[in-house]
Structure 1
Amino acid sequence: MEFRHLGNSGLKISEIAYGNWITHGSQVEEDAAHGCVKQALEEGITTFDTSDAYANTRAEAVLGRALKGQSRRDLEIFTKVYWPTNNRGHNDSGLSRKHIMESIDGSLERLQTDYVDLYQAHRYDVDTPLEETMEAFADVVKSGKALYIGVSEWTADQISEGHRLARELHIPFVSNQPQYSMLWRVIEDEVVPTCEELGIGQIVWSPIAQGVLTGKYKPGQAPPSGSRGTDEKSGAEFIKRWLKDETLERVAKLEPIAADSGLSMSQLAVAWVLQNSNVSAAIIGASRPEQVTENVKASGVKLDADTLAAIDDALGDLVERDPSLTRDQTPTVRPS
């Protein structure tokens, strides 16, 4: 496993992180979840990403139990705040001071830790003044409950303004967590250049496009039994947009490229996002330990210019690059 700095901070994280967005507390039983976390640790992963909203707080609790007994100083634990949790009361979402202060305490209790290494705003909150949000984050950091702060799916302008306030408050704003893959490159034109200028690193999710870039989904065929494409509990709604025959036909063209590189399709996909120097880590998920073992082999892989060009040629105009799609990730009203 290789390690990278999180943005321009002094914190190093494993360049492949383990995330439990869809799996823990919903898709897989707890024993299986613990098995995946154990395998991640054995493969050298030290960075674990979760959120209070995943499985309505259950994912945090599962991760806390799975990591119990591990040396805390050897881990980097990330979580997030924004989406509704618990009873979904009128203050149980967003980035208000009240919700942030209550949420960090709940997350720490479920994760069985005194602090998280990174506390992230899971979306931008249009209903709360940004100054209120950043001042609350500053108090979380200064109380020792989080070491660094970050955001997820913020636009370049939102990141710039948040970073300005963080500097004024003397707190380290070091990361953004966007979707990023061979198929989804919307951060490249605006978000990445802004983050490079500000010293903010990307912790990217869905580098395998919900499993489509593994090659397991074939054009003209139904999704394999037991796959994410057939299981509503494991995010079938998120993968549907990739299951068009046109997409799957282009993805199939990646198979010889992966083979020529000595990689599996999933390893090629994870390695591809890690070629971007602004990416600090790629988040992988798993429902079986062997999936962890498969994907961590992408760590340290260097893809040459010819391979990168061949990938671009194979996918062609199927690649989504429109930066306005990041703005579409900001809810127009606070969810309830």
Structure 2
Amino acid sequence: MVEHRHLGNSGLKISEIVYGNWLTHGSQVENDVATRCVHAALDAGITSFDTADVYANTVAESVLGEALEGRPRHELEIFTKVYWPTGSKGPNDSGLSRKHIMESIDGSLRRLRTDYVDLYQAHRYDTETPLEETMQAFADVVRQGKALYIGVSEWTAEQIRAGHALARDLGIQLISSQPQYSMLWRVIEEEVVPTSRELGLSQIVFSPIAQGVLTGKYRPGEPLPEGSRATDTKGGATMIKRFMDDDLLERVQGLRPVADELGLTMAELAVAWVLQNDNVAAALIGASRPEQVEDNVRASGVELPAEVMARIDDVLGDAVVRDPAMTARNAPQQRPS
């Protein structure tokens, strides 16, 4: 069964494998399959579920809410996010303004069929809204009982520090960061992780298997597997494009003997790798089939010896992206519409 860890310096415990429905529910897979995946997660001991209002333009939240209906609410930790455009995508339908946050939380709760979310996250940093306005709105959401804790996603270390200071002054808890993190993408290690550790936040990391690349199913010089994320024209192919390099894919194949010697699949090795970082509270996994959930949860509780971690570094070499400036570089410079 899946183990649990504290989220930041709070008393909240979450499953160290979190089920997320980005790019799947409401788009890639039919609702009945999505429901089976959620139920497979529950059966495996996952109690934490992550979504966002923008996923499939709000449909993913509805699918998750329906799939979780009937489960005791106190046994679950439900996370969602706000920032990206939703609905009719009018001038105030994105960002972290007070108006958008207060309207968005109500929509998310309605779709998720719950009175509150355990974690409400700023899906990106809003350069067009004063941070004071954003954090005051989050504080009001918490005081209204609509969210228990606050988190951020893909914020820089400086932005996290500023947000944490305001949250503390307002008497609310900013306890988490949700960045991209994997063996291949380590841009948070130099600045975001040390800052988070100092301030009492921990990471809920997405893409631990690098959009599927670290499963080893993409082989250099070979056609893309049918039905894979790299062939998904609804968004998956765009997200995975940065990893579709023959040299990188060849290095990834070099991880297969490492996984085999440990009795792990390559996906399990990748998920276990991110969980070795003591500032990582959980790894987010997605699934288009229930069996994928069952495969990934086996990474829970796995401890990788130091020599294995060093060997992985040797295999991947300079294919690893480490530049901390990539967080800011990939962030929207203005509110999307």
TM norm structure 2: 0.99
**Aligned residue number for residue 292 of structure 2:** 291
- The separation in 2 between residues aligned to 1:154 and 1:234, in whole angstroms, is 22
**Aligned residue number for residue 140 of structure 1:** 141
Shift of 1:217: 0.5
Unmatched segments (≥5 aa) in structure 1 = none
Letter in 2 for 1:7: G
Q: Secondary structure at the match of 2:114?
A: coil
Shift of 1:233: 2.5
CA RMSD of aligned residues (A): 0.6
Task: Give CA deviations for 1:132-169 in whole Å, capped at 9, x if unaligned.
Answer: 00000000000000000000000000000000000000
**Aligned residue number for residue 40 of structure 2:** 39
- The separation in 2 between residues aligned to 1:100 and 1:329, in whole angstroms, is 23
Task: Give CA deviations for 1:197-234 in whole Å, capped at 9, x if unaligned.
Answer: 00001000000000000000000001111111112136
Unmatched segments (≥5 aa) in structure 2 = none
Shift of 1:329: 3.1
**Residue 26 (structure 2) pairs with residue 25 (structure 1):** yes
Task: Give CA deviations for 1:86-105 in whole Å, capped at 9, x if unaligned.
Answer: 00000000000000000000
- The separation in 2 between residues aligned to 1:5 and 1:217, in whole angstroms, is 35
- The separation in 2 between residues aligned to 1:231 and 1:43, in whole angstroms, is 28
Task: Give CA deviations for 1:118-139 in whole Å, capped at 9, x if unaligned.
Answer: 0000000000000000000000
**Aligned residue number for residue 172 of structure 2:** 171
Percent identity between the two aligned chains: 71
- The separation in 1 between residues aligned to 2:56 and 2:9, in whole angstroms, is 32
How do residues 1-336 of structure 1 correspond to structure 2 at under 5 angstroms? 1-233=2-234, 235-336=236-337
Q: Secondary structure at the match of 1:175?
A: strand
Assess if the C-alpha contact under 8 Å between 1:250 and 1:315 holds in 2.
Answer: yes
Q: How many residues align?
A: 336
Q: Secondary structure at the match of 1:298?
A: coil
Assess if the C-alpha contact under 8 Å between 1:83 and 1:94 holds in 2.
Answer: yes
Assess if the C-alpha contact under 8 Å between 1:125 and 1:330 holds in 2.
Answer: no
Assess if the C-alpha contact under 8 Å between 1:27 and 1:234 holds in 2.
Answer: no
TM norm structure 1: 0.99
After alignment, is 211-220 or 229-238 more displaced?
229-238
After alignment, is 251-260 or 230-239 more displaced?
230-239
Assess if the C-alpha contact under 8 Å between 1:127 and 1:333 holds in 2.
Answer: yes
Letter in 1 for 2:65: G
- The separation in 1 between residues aligned to 2:152 and 2:280, in whole angstroms, is 14
Letter in 2 for 1:324: A
After alignment, is 220-229 or 263-272 more displaced?
220-229
- The separation in 2 between residues aligned to 1:241 and 1:332, in whole angstroms, is 20
Shift of 1:330: 2.4
